[in-house]
Amino acid sequence: MRDVFVRLGTDFLSTILFLVVYLATDSLVLATAVAIAAAVGQMIYAHVKGHSLGFMTWASLALVVVLGSATLLTHDPRFVLAKPAIIHFAIGAVMLKRGWMLRYVPPIAAEAIPDYVTFAGLAWAALMFALGAGTIAVARTGDLTLWSIYVSVIAVGAKILAFGVQYVMFRTVVRSRLRAARA
């Protein structure tokens, strides 16, 4: 579980730094420059350490550099604000693959309730698309405060809530099926 949070933190480091710097300084240019520098710095650090970089890491770097540069050139924050939406859409598309989630659940759940796990995987895809659409809608307003609340509270809260609901549902259904099998 710790690895998941480390990976998410690494993938979203530039977005987190953008948010923190913007909220602390109210400077779009500084926040964008820090986000770009952080993304490039992450790649250099990983290369020096000999770490292999996944597709999402490369995609995140490309998005930060391209959208951040567009933001700096136009002084329009909507470019950099769209980055989390693009990532949500990409993740949602990957989650449309049937059975993707089976490798992430405990073996007992994968064996006892594969149908529920498959449905949950599609529900996660739908959540990612909805969050991506919400991010775009909020980014279009250009309101950085509203965007920061959406990205840091609403989007994260929706994922935590979905994880909690899924955990309780899986646990309840697995227990029920195990009891039924013993009876």
Q: Is pLDDT at 5 greater than 70 in this prediction?
A: no
Contact between residue 142 and residue 105 where contact means Cβ atoms under 8 Å apart: no
The mean per-residue pLDDT over the stretch 29-51 comes to 89
More confidently predicted of 47 and 11: 47
Confidence of residue 100 (pLDDT cuts 50, 70, 90): confident
Q: 50: how many CB neighbours lie within 10 A of its CB?
A: 6
Measured distance CA(61)–CA(40) in Å, rounded: 7
Share of the chain above pLDDT 90, in %: 38
Residue 7: per-residue pLDDT: 64
Contact between residue 163 and residue 31 where contact means Cβ atoms under 8 Å apart: no
**Quick one: tokens of 59?**
């995609």
Closest CA to 61 of 76, 79, 83, 91: 83
Q: pLDDT digit string (tens) for 103-156?
A: 888 888 888 999 999 999 999 999 999 999 999 999 988 888 898 889 888 998
Q: pLDDT digit string (tens) for 142-174?
A: 888 898 889 888 998 999 999 999 999 999 999
Confidence of residue 89 (pLDDT cuts 50, 70, 90): very high
Kindly report the pTM of this predicted structure: 0.74
Mean pLDDT estimate for the chain: 87
Residue 11: per-residue pLDDT: 67
142 to each of 5, 35, 78, 176, 181, how far by Cα in Å? 29, 18, 6, 49, 55
The runs of H, that is alpha helices, within the chain are: 2-11, 13-25, 28-49, 55-74, 78-81, 83-95, 107-112, 114-141, 144-149, 156-182
Measured distance CA(148)–CA(178) in Å, rounded: 44
Confidence of residue 6 (pLDDT cuts 50, 70, 90): low
